Amino acid sequence: MGLSTNEIKEVIESGKAVLGIEFGSTRIKAVLVGPDNAPIASGAHDWENRLENNIWTYSLEDIWAGLQDCYQDMVTDVKSKYDAGVKSLKAIGFSAMMHGYMAFDESDTLLVPFRTWRNTITEEASGELTKVFNFNIPQRWSIAHLHQAILNQEEHVSRVKFITTLAGYIQWQLTGEKVLGVGDASGMFPIDIATKKFDTGMIRQFNELNAPKNFPWKLEEILPEVLVAGEDAGTLTEKGAKLLDTTGQLQAGIPICPPEGDAGTGMVATNSVAVRTGNVSAGTSVFGMIVLEHNLKKVHPEIDLVTTPMGDLVAMAHCNNCTSDLNAWVNIFKEFAESFGMEVDMNKLFGTLYNKALEGDADCGGLLAYNYFSGEHITNMEEGRPLFVRTPESKFNLANFMRVNLFTALGALKTGLDILFKEEDVKVDQILGHGGLFKTKGVGQSILAAAIDAPVSVMETAGEGGAWGIAVLASYMINKEANESLDDFLNHKVFAGQTGTKIEPKAEDVAGFNTFIQRYTRGLPIERAAIDSLKA
């Protein structure tokens, strides 16, 4: 049994609740948890990045107004549910979308607008650093942005005093500490798994590469300090308290855990931080992460190497496209129904169409689709052209049509994960699914199980997301016992007794997905022709 309303009110008013706030790409979300780590209140603020001078960015004003509005929305939720005010908290955690580039000068002024993970403007730097380090450096990573600015001879580079991520920036402003959780840090620059710090050998290589430019800084001087989950990362200052709570109610002195990236909080929220576990987050984009037993044998441009919040090595296949095209087709069916004067319940429509896919042929009856709204680096497509293709002999019916659109939502992911399973012999005992693709019970789950030929579980808490994940990390920092690992804390104090559903892969579905993926791979020149022939 959970806590009663009066017990929760007492927890909040005595300052024993823990707060997590995550900056997602379209929403800032706050989750307040009680002593049992279960959510007791939440708040949110919707926001959008903007394209300015060909750079995807959010302004500092957007960041602070969004954070303050999200916090007040949580306070309002607390007031309406428990008639309580928030004056103190036991701990706070901040997380945000990973990567990107925020560079500051000696006066702590932002030198150029925040360059987010969404920018693909660092191809030259990414390629050069990957060769120098013999380690895949994706375009999204902070070091790729810094090196591209150097290659572009941007005048701000010589004035850089500190670079960080969005989560690191929030932490710095609220605590005065220039620190970063190891998971988020692993999207800035490669981590040495032995030390859980930035790789000093690669830092030296970077400094040597840029020595002729005579910058007044060395790389190690401008990066944040790296911390693992559970370590002390500072406390909320008087200035920070006023920045977070503009009404002045919140007191200073609250411990704040190491700031993390959304990949790390997703691992926590799905209880997949242990070796040989993994998770797949499937919404607008999709990524799969597997915690590795050992390093990969070779460098793969399709695979990012990041870490868990404890610093264990994680292989990540990240794809730009997942449900956008699928949602567009469902909306066509909604329009069709409304044309006949029917009122459409979207949950029922999604459920009906998704379940229809389970009636289709194992290999989708010879149909082929590409869900590329935007470019897809795993298959080397720089732009997107959503496509549906069939031969006259294909079995074209509703079940196969829905099935192929669900299959293709995982097509690029399957391409990336197959590198891990088939070329690198990576082993995984369990994958946890979370995100919009898994909302219709059993459908997305069984299709993912077929794609990866491994059991897929969906937890009841999977919908809580990264804001809950960072709240749990803040709770771990203050509630862990001596030598208690994050994995043990999650198993015994967060997920104990939680029921999830597990689906084992069916042999015929696995064979069907393999047939589909062969067709998908052979058909990629069709997608290439569409990009070349059909200009936006």
79-109: pLDDT as tens digits: 999 999 999 999 999 999 999 999 999 999 9
Q: Evaluate whether residue 171 is within a structural domain.
A: no
Count of alpha carbons within 13 Å of 394, Cβ hemisphere only? 22
**CATH assignment at residue 494:** 3.30.420.40
222-248 tens-digit pLDDT: 999 999 999 999 999 999 999 999 999
CA dist 317 and 208 (Å) reads 30
6-49 tens-digit pLDDT: 999 999 999 999 999 999 988 999 999 999 999 999 999 999 99
**Sequence-distant (≥ 6) Cβ neighbours of residue 103 within 8 angstroms:** 110, 111, 112, 146, 149, 156, 160, 162, 163
Return the ∠ at Cα 181 (arms to 97 and 29), rounded to 5°: 40
Question: Where residue 497 falls among pLDDT bands split at 50, 70, 90?
Answer: confident
Mean pLDDT of 343-349: 95
Percentage of the chain beyond pLDDT 70 is 99
**pLDDT surpasses 80 at 463:** no
399 and 523 share one domain: yes
CB atoms within 10 A of CB 279: 30
The pLDDT assigned to 320 comes to 87
270-298 tens-digit pLDDT: 899 999 999 998 888 898 999 999 999 99
Range of the domain at 356: 324-409+508-533
For the chain, give the mean pLDDT. Answer: 95
The pLDDT assigned to 283 comes to 84
Mean pLDDT of 295-304: 92
317 and 359 share one domain: no
**pLDDT surpasses 90 at 64:** yes
Q: Evaluate whether residue 363 is within a structural domain.
A: yes
**Sequence-distant (≥ 6) Cβ neighbours of residue 422 within 8 angstroms:** none
Mean pLDDT of 326-346: 97
Domain count, the chain: 3
CA 33 to chain centroid:
21
The pLDDT assigned to 120 comes to 81
Radius of gyration of the chain (CA): 23
**pLDDT surpasses 90 at 412:** yes
**pLDDT surpasses 80 at 1:** no
Q: Evaluate whether residue 447 is within a structural domain.
A: yes
311 and 344 share one domain: no
362 and 499 share one domain: no
516 and 453 share one domain: no
Q: Evaluate whether residue 141 is within a structural domain.
A: yes
Q: Evaluate whether residue 499 is within a structural domain.
A: yes
387 and 517 share one domain: yes
338 and 211 share one domain: no
pTM (2 d.p.) = 0.88
Q: Evaluate whether residue 38 is within a structural domain.
A: no
Mean pLDDT of 137-154: 97
The pLDDT assigned to 536 comes to 62
Mean pLDDT of 355-378: 95
**pLDDT surpasses 90 at 500:** no
**pLDDT surpasses 60 at 194:** yes
150-190 tens-digit pLDDT: 999 999 999 999 999 999 999 999 999 999 999 999 999 99
Q: Evaluate whether residue 496 is within a structural domain.
A: yes
Question: Where residue 382 falls among pLDDT bands split at 50, 70, 90?
Answer: confident
275 and 369 share one domain: no
421 and 338 share one domain: no
103 and 202 share one domain: yes
- Residue 174 · residue 91 · CB < 8 Å: no
419 and 498 share one domain: yes
Q: Evaluate whether residue 263 is within a structural domain.
A: no
287 and 145 share one domain: no
**pLDDT surpasses 60 at 462:** no
Quick one: 334 exposed, middle or buried, by C-beta within 10 A (0-12, 13-18, 19+)? middle
**Sequence-distant (≥ 6) Cβ neighbours of residue 385 within 8 angstroms:** 370, 372, 527, 530, 531, 534
